[in-house]
Amino acid sequence: MEQKKFEALLVLIVPKIISLIIDNYGIDEVLASRRFYESEVYSLLEKESTKVWHLSPLTIFNMYDEEIKTGNITFPEG
pLDDT in tens, the chain (78 residues): 677 877 888 889 999 999 999 999 999 999 999 999 999 999 999 998 999 999 999 999 999 999 999 999 999 875
User: Which whole-number Å values give the CA distances from 28 to 1, 24, 46, 51, in the listed order?
Assistant: 33, 11, 23, 28
